[in-house]
Copies of this chain bind each other. A is one copy, B any other.
Amino acid sequence: MITLAVDCMGGDHGPRVTLAACRQFLDKHPKAHLLLVGKTESLESFQHERVTLVAASEVVGMDDPVEVALRRKKDSSMRVAIEQVKAGAAAAAVSAGNTGALMAIARYVLKTLDGIDRPAIAAQLPNGLGRATTVLDLGANVDCTAEHLLQFAFMGTALVSVLDEGSKASVGLLNIGEEAIKGSDIIKRSGELLRTAGQAGEINFFGNVEGNDIFKGTVDIVVCDGFVGNVALKTSEGVASMISNGLKQEFKRNLLTKLAAVIAYPVLSALMKRMDHRRYNGAALLGLRGLVFKSHGSADAIAFEYALSRAYDAACNNLLDRVRSRIARAAPLLDATPAIAAAPLSAS
């Protein structure tokens, strides 16, 4: 029996979406147990034998500053969900709330793993090979040192090993050219550290990759700082949505194009399904002493259910132990770099 703690109040839609997703998830996962965290009046109508309601009197708003979420709302559904993980009552927490607040609270409540200076946000993006590329960091850290990027490579490798046991996941360093001489000093130094780790057999380092390689599927894992990762993620969402809106406009233009739309519908819908971003919902907050997954704030029930499944799979496959042991194995490499004991949190 695996138990997840669900922040039912988070996200743009709150319980309407999260509870519908929880019901679908429970139907498909007969061994799962859920702790539904939130305001009693919002949740009490939900009855299920594998569900326990956990009351939380406050809600972190999507626009709440990190400080408000962290210091003033100590009984928020987000925080209480994470505290279930800390207390050992749940194997993972899932929230669609404000990313910056989630990272700050998770870090404050759970603390980081030994050997990890900065937790990172890792998500999967669909690629042209029909698989997924794992990208981290996606916005937790706006300034990263080369050592942080090395840690991201180890954590990303552990995450991918959960999903694809036998593989030796390849890691690419996001840069503005393939050659090792490209990029800023930090990026060049990151390349050196990653190459050393690759030569030591701790990761499967491919080399530099460029923005388009994320969607080509050139490597399994792409590491970058949170500023660049966030821009890449939002840019890709922007392009996809421009093309999809453009298609809709063109097909609505006149009677003939509307007829074409009817005929092309099955084909377009097959493509949409393949690239449906909802299937990739559920970003992992890595580097903490507990599992926390972040759903997109605008997720619908289908998307939120994917985030729950992702957290469930990670818990079933001991993602936490895998990250811990990867970091431990890599200790000699990481110890050789200056430790930053109390790096300031720069949450997005």
Residues of A participating in the B interface, judged by any CB pair closer than 8 Å: 65, 126-128, 139, 142-143, 174, 176-177, 181-185, 187, 210-216, 224, 226-228, 230-243, 245-247, 250-251, 253, 256-257, 259-261, 263-264, 266-268, 270-271, 274-275, 346, 348
Contacts and interface: CB of A to CB of B under 8 A. Distances in A.
A132 to B, nearest CB: 12
B242 A184 contact: no
Nearest to A181: B65
A212 B174 CA distance: 19
Nearest to A183: B142
Contact of A234 (B139, B211, B224, B246): B211
A215 B230 contact: no
Given A215-B238, A270-B250, A232 B230 contact: no
Contact of A242 (B128, B174, B185): B128
Contacts of A240: 239, 243
Nearest to A252: B267
B226 A212 contact: no
B243 A243 contact: yes
A205 B215 CA distance: 33
Of A128, A241, A264, A266, most buried by chain B (CB within 10 Å of CB) is: A264
